[in-house]
Amino acid sequence: MTSKKHIWASLVLIVAFALLGYFYLSPSSKPFQFGLDLVGGTELIYRADTSKVEDVDGAMESLKEVIERRINIFGVSEPLIQTEKAGLISGNNEERLIVELPGVSDIDQAIALIGQTPVLEFRLAKTNFEEILKANASSTINDLFTETGLTGRYLERAQVQFNSSNQAAVVGLKFNPEGADLFAQITREHIGEVLAIILDGQLLSAPIIQDEIKSGEAQITGTFSPDEAKLLVRDLNYGALPVPIELATSQTIGASLGEAALDAGMRAGMIGFIALSIFLILWYRLPGLVSVVALCAYVVLSLTIFKLIPVTLTAAGMAGFILSIGMAVDANVLIFERAKEELKKGKNIHDAFHEGFHRAWLSIRDSNTASIITAIVLFWLGTSAVKGFALTLGVGVAISMFTAITVSRTFLFAIAPKDSSSFKKFIFSNGFHWKL
């Protein structure tokens, strides 16, 4: 039984070292994503007017995607675009669009990237259909297509429809009277040609004109799945009539200030971790050393999860992570103190730590569950800065609870002897003076 526990403890160490090597020491390791407050840049917060929109979530998601496409054209490194609902408790559900642009220090330039209205266009192809399929870069749009004057301002609505013959999903278009006349002229004079649908410089669809359409209604046919047709409809509706946005606040954070904040946060974390490790070893002796090893495994696993999600680390997010380390230590302290009580009752070391873990588990579970619930509420109701804190805290606490019942438990049960002696009781007891 003991040999099996030793094997499990060895496997835990191997996995921890493997994660450390792969995610942090290998040349292909990706860097962490840091927020503006740590690397510098510009943050823009917009208020969105959704008073005339029925599908608010769809409109905001479409707005987010349009802004992402626009920013990506300018090559901004790892922009962060997100939506949030402000004032949830007060009932003033204001929709906001938050744009973070790392490395962009000119606010006027940042506003220029966002402020232009997305353009929906219907253009005729200059070349054949095969070349259009190969070329989908925004820089070739003007070379491949000719303007027709038919734009999104003439589109009344788009909707998902289904072909009556085979029930395939298609996209139905309806133009206003002025657009219907222009659309009829274009389709009459260019039968057999490609009439491309372009949103914000990106080719969405390239249907071929089959016949003159006088009704102002048309269908985009193809191999659409219902979900793909729904996405295209959303882009057409909200691309043609984007949600009006108004700049609410803006701020620029210098690179030197962000670097200083990052260095200070990392230095504070390292000093705190070292001081905590020294205390655990001096006070709890061998179990304290085990808890330090488990804590290292916890840090590696947490940072690995942050990379995989990925989590954008801000100053508030780093504070949440450091706080979760304290929660992880708290679980180990509870186990050790319960084991100490069992040792005082005369039990051997092995049984004392088994019973100590059993008694401490309920407290560990309840306290960590309460912290996770708090993190979920903060993430749901909070602003972007609070969400960063809540996310790292919630993920960290969940992982700390996992490591408490796996890493710490496995190591302790692997080293706890079944026989007792004065020396063994000393190294498994706690305090600066050994006394049972």
pLDDT in tens, 342-373: 888 888 888 888 888 888 888 888 888 999 99
Q: How far apart are CA 346 and CA 330, in angstroms?
A: 25
pLDDT at 265 over 50: yes
Q: How far apart are CA 296 and CA 120, in angstroms?
A: 53
Query: In which band, very low, low, confident or very high, does the pLDDT at 116 lie, cut at 50, 70 and 90?
Result: low
Residue with the larger pLDDT of the pair 426 and 148: 148
The set of residues, in sequence order, having a beta carbon less than 8 Å from that of 364 and lying 6+ positions away, is 331, 334, 335, 401, 404, 405
Task: Tell me the CATH number for domain 2-28+254-428.
Answer: 1.20.1640.10
Q: How does strand 195-199 pair with strand 33-34? A: unpaired
Q: How far is CA 215 from the centre of its chain?
A: 45
Predicted structure pTM score: 0.60
Q: How far apart are CA 290 and CA 278, in angstroms?
A: 12
pLDDT score for 182: 93
Query: In which band, very low, low, confident or very high, does the pLDDT at 128 lie, cut at 50, 70 and 90?
Result: low
Q: Per-domain residue ranges for the chain?
A: 2-28+254-428, 41-117+245-252, 120-240
* Domain formed by 41-117+245-252, architecture: 2-Layer Sandwich (3.30)
Q: How far apart are CA 307 and CA 310, in angstroms?
A: 5
pLDDT at 260 over 50: yes
Q: Which of 329, 357, 363, 318 is nearest to 341 (CA)?
A: 357
Give the DSSP H/E element, type plus range, for residue 115: helix 107-115
Q: How far apart are CA 160 and CA 170, in angstroms?
A: 6
In a 10 Å sphere around its CB, with 0-12 CB exposed, 13-18 middle and 19+ buried, how is residue 410 labelled? buried
Instruction: Please state the rounded mean pLDDT for residues 7-28.
Output: 66
Under DSSP, the state recorded for 103 is T
Query: In which band, very low, low, confident or very high, does the pLDDT at 1 lie, cut at 50, 70 and 90?
Result: very low
pLDDT at 153 over 90: no
pLDDT in tens, 398-407: 888 887 777 7
H-assigned helices in 309-421: 315-344, 349-381, 384-403, 409-415
pLDDT score for 184: 93
Kindly state the tokens that stand for 387.
Answer: 């969400």
How far are the Cα atoms of 23, 30, 60 from residue 26, in angstroms, in the given order? 7, 9, 39
Q: How far is CA 175 from the centre of its chain?
A: 38
The set of residues, in sequence order, having a beta carbon less than 8 Å from that of 301 and lying 6+ positions away, is 16, 19, 399, 402, 403
Residue with the larger pLDDT of the pair 33 and 97: 97
pLDDT score for 235: 72
Fold for the domain defined by 120-240: Gyrase A; domain 2 (3.30.1360)
Residue with the larger pLDDT of the pair 213 and 257: 213
